[in-house]
Amino acid sequence: MKSFKGNKAHLPTKICTTCKRPFSWRKKWEKVWDEVKYCSDKCRQSKIPSAANKLSS
């Protein structure tokens, strides 16, 4: 039996810094996976300000 092509069980995962949900590796992130922090554009746009930004205000 062939393996299911869409199976993501073997792919690396990370936790989104905004929503705290796990997300899986995507082909479009292949070259920048180490830099990926957010699971979606929505989370990236509504990111929580870092502590450094709070201190400079």
Burial 19-44 (b: 16+ CB within 10 A, else e): eeeebeeeeeeeeeeeebebbeeebe
pLDDT of 20: 95
pLDDT of 27: 92
pLDDT of 26: 92
**Is the pTM for the entire model greater than 0.75?**
no
pLDDT digits (tens, 9 = 90+) for 1-57: 565 666 777 889 999 999 999 999 999 999 999 999 999 999 999 876 655 455 554
